[in-house]
Structure formats: structure tokens, C-alpha cells
Amino acid sequence: MVSVEQVRDALRAVKDPELNLNVVDLGLVYEIEVAEGGAVHVQMTLTSPGCPAGPEMLSEAQGVLEGLEGVSKADVELVWEPYWTPDKMDPRVRSLLWG
């Protein structure tokens, strides 16, 4: 069966095209659930509700998960709570962007 960590690692392939950073390090992935049988549910958000790359990133996340060995079904849910802020980013990435 696929693990939460494997799902998280796979999602690192999904990048915000405007920032060229992956959705995990940006802190856009809020929750990952893996059920018996390989069904995966991911809650993620975007940097802003008007993010023009949003549909593309959600679709890419869905595709990455569906292509992951051990995943029988993938569901990517867009959520707005809690609202994304830069403090959700990986501290190393945040320091690269804002020193």
C-alpha cells in the first residue's frame, strides 16, 4: 500500500509555475489521507483565490497521484481554510525567497 510520505514525495513534482516551487514546500498541501485499498484524498489550497495556475496545479496533482503505484483512486480537494500565508512554507524555502 502507498504511504502518506510516498504521496507527499510524489506531490513535490507539482510546481507553482509562477514561483517555480513545488506545492509541498510552498505549504499548499494541508492534508493527505490514504485509505485501505489505496484510495488517496488530498486537501490542498492555492496561494490566492485568483491564482491563474490553480486549475493546472490541481489537475497536475491529480495526474501525479493517479500515476503513483499503489493508488487505486485519487481525489484532490481544493480548500480555502485555513487561508494560505507565507508562514506555511517550508522555512528553508521562505528564507530563500525573503532572506
- The string of pLDDT tens digits covering residues 53-97 is 999 999 999 999 999 999 999 999 999 999 999 999 999 988 888
The answer to whether position 72 is within a domain reads yes
pLDDT band of residue 98 (cuts 50, 70, 90) is confident
The answer to whether position 21 is within a domain reads yes
The answer to whether position 67 is within a domain reads yes
The answer to whether position 31 is within a domain reads yes
Give residue 97's pLDDT: 81
What is the pTM for the complete model shown?
0.93
Work out how many domains the chain is built from and give that number.
1
Contacts made by residues 66-71, CB under 8 angstroms, sequence distance 24+: 68/2, 68/6, 68/7, 68/10, 68/40, 69/2, 70/1, 70/2, 70/6, 70/38, 71/2, 71/7, 71/38, 71/39, 71/40
The answer to whether position 62 is within a domain reads yes
Give residue 1's pLDDT: 86
The answer to whether position 98 is within a domain reads no
* CATH code of the domain in which 75 resides: 3.30.300.130
Domain of residue 82 covers 4-93
The answer to whether position 35 is within a domain reads yes
